[in-house]
Amino acid sequence: MKVLLVNGSPRKEGNTYLALKEIAGVLEAQGIETEIFWIGNEAINGCIMCGGCRTEGRCAINDIVTAFQDKAVQADGFVFGAPVHFAGPAGNFCSFMDRLFYSCVNDGKTLAMKPAAAITVARRAGTSASLDRINKYITYGHMPLISSSYWNMAFGAKCGEVLQDEEGLQTMRNVGLNLAYVLRCIQAGQAAGVERPQHECGARTNFIR
Ligand SMILES: Cc1cc2nc3c(=O)[nH]c(=O)nc-3n(C[C@H](O)[C@H](O)[C@H](O)COP(=O)(O)O)c2cc1C
C-alpha cells in the first residue's frame, strides 16, 4: 500500500513538510510506503474552464498537476497539506487542487473511495478556515475523511518551528495511525469481497433553473 502526501508549500522542507514527515513516519513504521510530493514553487495555473478534462479524462494543461494525477492512480491514500496564506490554503496549492479534483474526481480510479486527510500549518491563525477548504475537496470526491485527536493542524512560523508544537505533532501522528487503520480496513474489506458502492450521478440542479 502507498500513501501520497502533498506538500502544498512553496518551501520544500518547511513546516508543512515537517508535519507531513511526522505522518509519513507513522505510516512507514506500519509497513505502508510513502512519498512526499512537493508541488514546487513555480506558478501553477488555475483552472481555465476549457472543458478539456471532460473529453480527455485529464487536465489539458500538462504540468505538475497531471504528473501528480498519473502517480495518484497507483496510490491507496492521500494527505493534502498546505500552509496558511492570508487565512486560506496557499494560492498555488488551491490552483493545484482545483485542477486535480475538477479533472479526475469522477474517473473512479484516481481519488474516489481512497481515504484522505487534510492538514494545515500556520504561524497563528487561519488553520480552521484552511482545513475547511481542503476538506471540501476530499468530501466532494467520495473519499473517506481522516480525522485525529484534534483538528488536523500544527503551528510554526520559521522553518522548523513546527517541531516545537508538541500537540501539533501528536495530532499528525494520530492522523497517520487513523489513516493506516482505515487503509487496512479497506484492504480487509476488499479481501472479504466487499464491493465499492455504485454511486448515483447525473442530477445536477443549478439554482437558477
Ligand atoms: C503570503 C503569506 C501569508 C501568510 N498568512 C498567514 C496567515 O494568514 N495566518 C498565519 O497564521 N500565518 C500566515 N503565514 C505564515 C505561514 O503560514 C507559516 O510561516 C507556515 O509555517 C509556513 O509553512 P511552510 O514552512 O510549510 O511554508 C503566511 C505566510 C505567507 C508567506
Q: Which residues are within 8 A (CB) of 190 and not within 5 positions of it... i.e. 6 or more apart? A: none
Q: What is the pLDDT of residues 125-159, one digit of tens each?
A: 999 999 999 999 999 999 999 999 999 999 999 99
Query: What gap in Å lies between CA 164 and CA 154, rounded to an integer?
Result: 10
Cβ atoms of 120 and 81 within 8 Å: the answer is: yes
Contacts of 197 (CB under 8 A, 6+ apart): 113
pLDDT of residue 204: 85
Within a domain: 125: yes
Q: Which domain holds residue 30?
A: 2-191
Please report the pLDDT score of residue 202 as a whole number.
87
Is 113 inside a domain boundary?
yes
3-state class (DSSP) for residue 181: helix
- What is the total count of domains within the chain? 1
b or e along 161-186 (b: 16 or more beta carbons within 10 Å of the residue's beta carbon)? bbbebeebbebbbbbbbbbbebbeeb
Atom of ligand 1 nearest to the CA of 157: 19
Name which residue sits closest to atom 1 of ligand 1, judged by CA: 85
Residue nearest to atom 5 of ligand 1 (CA): 85
Instruction: Tell me if 202 is assigned to some domain.
Output: no
Per-residue model confidence as pLDDT tens digits over 17-46? 999 999 999 999 999 999 999 999 999 999
Q: Is residue 200 a part of any domain in this protein?
A: no
DSSP symbol at 203: -
The residue among 110, 117, 111 whose CA lies nearest residue 80 is 117
For residue 62, report the distance from its CA to the centre of ligand 1, in Å.
28
Q: Is the pTM of this model over 0.85?
A: yes
| CA–CA dist 173, 150 (Å, integer) | 11
User: What's the gap in Å between 83 CA and the centre of ligand 1?
Assistant: 6
Residue 100 lies in a domain: yes
Tell whether 29 is covered by a domain. yes
Question: Residue 15 sits in a domain of what CATH number?
Answer: 3.40.50.360
The DSSP H or E segment spanning 5 is strand 2-7
In a domain? residue 71: yes
The per-residue pLDDT for 206 is 87
Q: Closest Cα to atom 14, ligand 1: which residue?
A: 85
- Is residue 201 in some structural domain? no
Specify the residue with its C-alpha closest to ligand 1, atom 16: 122
Give CA torsion, residues 139, 2, 103, 109, to 10 deg: -90
Confidence of residue 208 (pLDDT cuts 50, 70, 90): confident
Q: Which residues pair with 6 in a beta bridge?
A: 37, 80
Specify whether the CB–CB gap between 123 and 81 falls below 8 A: no
